[in-house]
Protein backbone atom coordinates (compact mmCIF):
# COMPACT_ATOMS: atom_id res chain seq x y z
CA UNK A 1 0.00 0.00 0.00
CA UNK A 2 1.50 3.32 -1.09
CA UNK A 3 0.61 5.20 2.09
CA UNK A 4 2.34 2.60 4.26
CA UNK A 5 5.41 2.52 2.07
CA UNK A 6 5.98 6.23 2.48
CA UNK A 7 6.27 6.03 6.25
CA UNK A 8 7.68 2.56 6.70
CA UNK A 9 10.53 2.49 9.20
CA UNK A 10 13.05 -0.06 10.35
CA UNK A 11 14.33 0.55 13.86
CA UNK A 12 16.82 -1.48 15.84
CA UNK A 13 18.43 -1.35 19.25
CA UNK A 14 20.36 -3.38 21.76
CA UNK A 15 19.54 -3.68 25.47
CA UNK A 16 20.56 -5.64 28.53
CA UNK A 17 18.22 -7.49 30.87
CA UNK A 18 18.38 -6.23 34.45
CA UNK A 19 18.14 -9.86 35.59
CA UNK A 20 18.62 -12.85 33.33
CA UNK A 21 15.34 -13.97 31.73
CA UNK A 22 14.19 -17.55 32.32
CA UNK A 23 12.80 -19.57 29.40
CA UNK A 24 9.29 -18.94 30.74
CA UNK A 25 9.86 -15.19 30.98
CA UNK A 26 11.18 -15.16 27.42
CA UNK A 27 8.11 -17.05 26.20
CA UNK A 28 5.82 -14.60 28.00
CA UNK A 29 7.66 -11.62 26.56
CA UNK A 30 7.56 -13.10 23.08
CA UNK A 31 3.86 -13.97 23.38
CA UNK A 32 2.95 -10.45 24.39
CA UNK A 33 5.11 -8.89 21.68
CA UNK A 34 3.82 -11.22 18.98
CA UNK A 35 0.14 -10.68 19.77
CA UNK A 36 0.42 -6.96 20.21
CA UNK A 37 2.59 -6.47 17.12
CA UNK A 38 0.32 -8.60 14.97
CA UNK A 39 -2.61 -6.43 16.03
CA UNK A 40 -0.65 -3.26 15.28
CA UNK A 41 0.99 -4.10 11.94
CA UNK A 42 4.44 -4.24 13.51
CA UNK A 43 6.86 -6.90 12.35
CA UNK A 44 10.39 -7.84 13.28
CA UNK A 45 12.77 -10.06 15.09
CA UNK A 46 14.07 -10.34 18.65
CA UNK A 47 17.34 -11.93 19.75
CA UNK A 48 18.40 -12.86 23.26
CA UNK A 49 21.71 -14.26 24.35
CA UNK A 50 23.61 -14.01 27.59
CA UNK A 51 21.37 -11.27 29.00
CA UNK A 52 21.49 -9.08 25.89
CA UNK A 53 18.52 -8.32 23.66
CA UNK A 54 18.70 -7.02 20.13
CA UNK A 55 15.58 -6.24 18.16
CA UNK A 56 14.54 -5.05 14.72
CA UNK A 57 11.11 -3.45 14.49
CA UNK A 58 9.32 -2.56 11.27
CA UNK A 59 6.19 -0.49 10.89
CA UNK A 60 4.86 2.98 10.41
CA UNK A 61 6.80 5.81 12.02
CA UNK A 62 3.91 6.44 14.42
CA UNK A 63 3.52 2.83 15.48
CA UNK A 64 7.23 2.33 15.98
CA UNK A 65 7.69 5.48 18.03
CA UNK A 66 4.69 4.55 20.20
CA UNK A 67 6.11 1.08 20.85
CA UNK A 68 9.63 2.39 21.35
CA UNK A 69 8.41 4.59 24.22
CA UNK A 70 6.94 1.52 25.91
CA UNK A 71 10.05 -0.57 25.36
CA UNK A 72 12.26 2.19 26.72
CA UNK A 73 10.10 2.43 29.83
CA UNK A 74 10.16 -1.31 30.41
CA UNK A 75 12.10 -1.75 33.63
CA UNK A 76 13.07 -5.34 32.86
CA UNK A 77 15.93 -4.11 30.74
CA UNK A 78 18.21 -1.16 30.16
CA UNK A 79 18.66 0.24 26.67
CA UNK A 80 22.29 0.13 25.63
CA UNK A 81 21.86 2.06 22.41
CA UNK A 82 19.93 2.46 19.21
CA UNK A 83 21.54 0.65 16.30
CA UNK A 84 19.75 2.12 13.29
CA UNK A 85 16.66 4.04 12.25
CA UNK A 86 15.95 4.15 8.54
CA UNK A 87 13.16 4.41 6.01
CA UNK A 88 12.52 1.21 4.07
CA UNK A 89 10.50 0.50 0.94
CA UNK A 90 9.23 -2.83 2.11
CA UNK A 91 9.36 -5.06 5.15
CA UNK A 92 12.14 -7.64 5.43
CA UNK A 93 9.98 -9.65 7.87
CA UNK A 94 6.45 -9.29 6.47
CA UNK A 95 5.27 -12.57 8.00
CA UNK A 96 6.80 -12.18 11.43
CA UNK A 97 4.72 -10.28 14.01
CA UNK A 98 7.80 -11.07 16.05
CA UNK A 99 10.22 -13.91 15.57
CA UNK A 100 12.33 -14.93 18.54
CA UNK A 101 15.87 -16.26 18.46
CA UNK A 102 17.30 -17.40 21.79
CA UNK A 103 20.76 -18.87 22.29
CA UNK A 104 19.80 -22.29 20.84
CA UNK A 105 18.32 -20.90 17.65
CA UNK A 106 21.13 -18.37 17.26
CA UNK A 107 23.62 -21.26 17.43
CA UNK A 108 21.61 -23.24 14.91
CA UNK A 109 20.66 -20.60 12.36
CA UNK A 110 23.11 -17.73 12.72
CA UNK A 111 26.21 -19.05 14.49
CA UNK A 112 28.10 -15.92 13.42
CA UNK A 113 25.93 -13.93 15.81
CA UNK A 114 27.14 -15.84 18.85
CA UNK A 115 29.00 -13.58 21.19
CA UNK A 116 28.13 -10.47 19.12
CA UNK A 117 25.35 -9.47 21.51
CA UNK A 118 27.78 -8.05 24.00
CA UNK A 119 27.04 -4.34 23.94
CA UNK A 120 30.39 -3.47 22.37
CA UNK A 121 29.84 -0.84 19.72
CA UNK A 122 32.65 -1.96 17.40
CA UNK A 123 30.41 -4.89 16.54
CA UNK A 124 27.39 -2.88 15.45
CA UNK A 125 27.81 -3.15 11.69
CA UNK A 126 28.40 -6.90 11.82
CA UNK A 127 25.59 -7.28 14.33
CA UNK A 128 23.05 -5.48 12.15
CA UNK A 129 24.08 -7.39 9.05
CA UNK A 130 23.65 -10.70 10.87
CA UNK A 131 20.35 -9.64 12.42
CA UNK A 132 18.96 -8.61 9.04
CA UNK A 133 20.23 -11.81 7.43
CA UNK A 134 17.65 -13.96 9.25
CA UNK A 135 15.00 -12.54 6.92
CA UNK A 136 16.29 -15.08 4.40
CA UNK A 137 15.04 -17.89 6.66
CA UNK A 138 11.52 -16.71 5.96
CA UNK A 139 11.96 -17.22 2.24
CA UNK A 140 13.73 -20.57 2.29
CB 6 within 8 A of CB 61: no
Query: Where in 45-84 is the site for ligand FMN (CB under 6 A)?
Result: 46, 53, 55, 67, 70-71, 74, 76-77
Nearest CA-CA partner of 52 in 97, 101, 86, 11: 101
Nearer to ligand FMN, 37 or 130 (CB): 37
Nearest CA-CA partner of 83 in 106, 34, 116: 116
Q: Does 15 bind ligand FMN (CB under 6 A)?
A: yes
Smallest gap from Cβ 49 to ligand FMN, in A, equals 12
The answer for residues whose C-beta is within 8 angstroms of residue 124's C-beta and 6 or more apart is: 83
Which stretches of the chain bind ligand FMN, using CB under 6 A? 15, 29, 32-33, 36-37, 46, 53, 55, 67, 70-71, 74, 76-77, 98
Amino acid sequence: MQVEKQSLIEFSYISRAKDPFSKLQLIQLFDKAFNSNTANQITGVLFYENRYFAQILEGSREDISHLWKKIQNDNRHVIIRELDFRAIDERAFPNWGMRFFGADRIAKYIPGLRGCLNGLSDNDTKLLTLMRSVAALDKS
